[in-house]
Structure 1
Amino acid sequence: MTMIQALRSALDVMMERDDNVVVFGEDVGYFGGVFRVTEGLQTKYGKSRCFDTPINEGGIVGAAVGMGAYGLRPVAEIQFADYFYPAYDQIVSEAARLRHRSAGDFTCPLTIRMPCGGGIYGGQTHSQSPEALFTHVCGLRTVIPSNPYDAKGLLISAIECDDPVVFLEPKRLYNGPFDGHHDRPVTPWSKHPLGKVPEGYYKVPLESAAVVRPGKQLTVIAYGTMVWVAQAAAEETGIDAEIIDLRSLWPLDLDTVLESVKKTGRCVVVHEATKTSGFGAELCSLVQEHCFYHLEAPIERVAGWDTPYPHATEWAYFPGPARLGAAFQRAVEA
């Protein structure tokens, strides 16, 4: 399956298993979503289970919070992550707080799906990576998969979770595993096979990172599209890098990260979002706090530019294998 197909399969599985699962958002019903993730769900489950909403992100999330408190398991789509800002107050002040504010009388089993990142020349309003704005909020879970298998298993776990989950979907990975060796769009999308994804129900734990490439020379902490770029950089440089796919940004599987860094003594953090105040800063801080006496070199951080998101030059904005490979070299030579 592609990631789109895997996400659709997760929604289908959960809607069939649980009548309380409802899917809604802008154009997700009749049209099947702008990326076709929800295609066919309205036909199969009806307009009361998969339906369109007005262009009103605050209303979409606000309604979902009420549905969750009532006992439903809403899956709300924000058409692009860039559009979530009008709903931020509902996410932070209502969804994230409900369990604690009510002393456990109410929960908010809400999943908010958001396509994120660049790769489609969408410019400043269709290409942002705002994950750090969610990881800062107590009561929220933030998830971002890098492959179809994890995408389906994580989405099923998110829907079954009793806390609100922000589920970020990298657009560059939607139509197949991204070929990380390129710093520009390629056709076809990838030389890699599509992900092997079971048809039925399975879960991937929400708080578990994955070591996708064992290594001894340095640790690379990545998530989303950058997992593929990190693998390409390791192959091109020949450096024996251990690559960790976080999968869940918060709660974070810190044990897996620290075990790896203590073994290798070197660490490179990479993400697509802008560098300043990005989630990579938190990762660097945690590694420094827990692994100071194990580090053999300064922690390297590779990220997007600290500028408004570029349109025509977005493939230069992305951390690519050349820029990441240079960080690898600096780390091992320090």
Structure 2
Amino acid sequence: MKVLAIAKTLCKGGAAVGASNTINSLRAAGLEVVAFGAYETPKSCAMSAMRTTERIYERVFHNADTHCLQLWSPVFDLVRLYEQHRPDIVQLFDISGNTIDFRQLNDIPCPSVQRLSDFWPYHGAKHYNLAPPDPPSVADRLLRRMIFDGSGEPDAFVAPSQWLADVLTDRQPTVIRNAVTSAPGVTPRDRLGAKIRFGFISNPIDDPRKGLMSVPPVLTAFAAHAGPVALHLFGEGSDQTMTSTNCIEVVAHPPFKRDALATAFTNFDILLCPSKLDNSPNVMTEALAHAVPVVAQIGSGMDSYLEATFGALIDFDGRVEQGAAQIASLLRSYPAACKAALRFAMAELSPQKIGEEYKALYTALLVQRA
């Protein structure tokens, strides 16, 4: 089975990591994959200038979370790519930034599938609209007029979490979790130090969607019973966002590259993910693959990944004492939690397993199309 994979980028950002992990999973399941990223594809000077102009407009007049303007043809001609490669399946990822013409999905003879990272463009021009805006904004009207009017959609959708599938329930996504490759030689930790170390990763560190400001009240409540803790912040601006208190020692770290993941995870015992709008953050699956337990926001995409044996789902903005108690409970069996995190990543999130789930979806679509 041959798959044509198309994404806005395969190199930059969380969605790119998710796309690359999925492509690796497809290959692990024995599928042939030809992959293209719009950012990485050479373009004419005119197209590059128009893409830059579009993005400047979106950022200046709306925000970085918005894609709505098209001044030039999309980067990829989907029909031409199909004719060149003759795939059995077209697999789409984040295709904002005028990566494709949605209407051309009606012109290719093979099934198409989109792995969703967020709600764009189905809930409007912003990537994290939990519902279609009513009334639509200027950006939403531009999106409908220039990029997506609903006349062309993929044949099927994949949601990496039940949360995302529930929000986009009208598209009836199939839930297939994100894959992660467990690093060789990972050894689960067998003890905690005298001071519990928590980690938070975001770039930039103060991205409002990531929820850093929800962390201190919970850690303060935890420290009231367990003693002072350390909070390690990784990301741009981590040295300017938060200062230490009597019970929380803040340790700032600059952003790190992917080849330094293992080193970064050695700096803390528990990863904190307080975002309410995260579908399936890569740092969470990577933490599990490095045998690091995770405490995350309940009612988010992370519900699909964390189990009580190696994680805790809490409401960071709710009763902080209850959240602190759940963290304390997790830490009481910390060595076992570390082992369980690694086992889960290797068994449930392995590229081979995730690739087989995509392969089963593709097979069902091809049978329906026959």
Asked if these proteins are the same fold (TM beyond 0.5), I'd say: no
Larger Rg: 2
Q: TM-score, normalised by structure 1?
A: 0.29
